[in-house]
């Protein structure tokens, strides 16, 4: 069983995260900074679904790993629809 963790926006991501997910986290944080969003109190939550990391930001932005390609996919909080895995 894998347990998740939490870390602050701008903080170091867990070392076990695959590089594509770390890159996606950095991209989201960069976009927030460019938009002037004050995310200093926001945190990321890492959980695992079917042995793949799922990272969610306090605003609902979610990063999942595509099971086929291994790419990290960012799902903005305001994306149409609900969970892309359902």
Quote the CA–CA distance of 23 and 42 in Å, as a whole number: 18
Distance CA 51, CA 46 (A): 12
DSSP H helices in the chain? 19-34
Q: Is the pLDDT of residue 71 over 90?
A: yes
Give CA–CA dist 46/76, Å, rounded: 16
pTM attached to this predicted model? 0.86
What is residue 86's predicted lDDT score, i.e. its pLDDT? 42
For the chain, give the percent of residues with pLDDT over 90. 79
pLDDT computed for residue 77 by the predictor = 82
């Amino acid at each position: 069983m894998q347990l998740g963790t939490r870390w602050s926006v701008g903080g170091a991501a867990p070392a076990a995260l695959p590089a594509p997910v770390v890159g996606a986290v950095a991209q989201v944080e960069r976009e927030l900074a460019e938009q002037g969003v004050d995310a200093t109190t926001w945190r990321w939550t890492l959980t695992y679904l079917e042995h793949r990391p799922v990272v969610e930001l306090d605003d609902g932005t979610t990063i999942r790993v595509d099971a086929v390609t291994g790419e990290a996919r960012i799902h903005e909080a305001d994306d149409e629809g609900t969970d892309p895995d359902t």
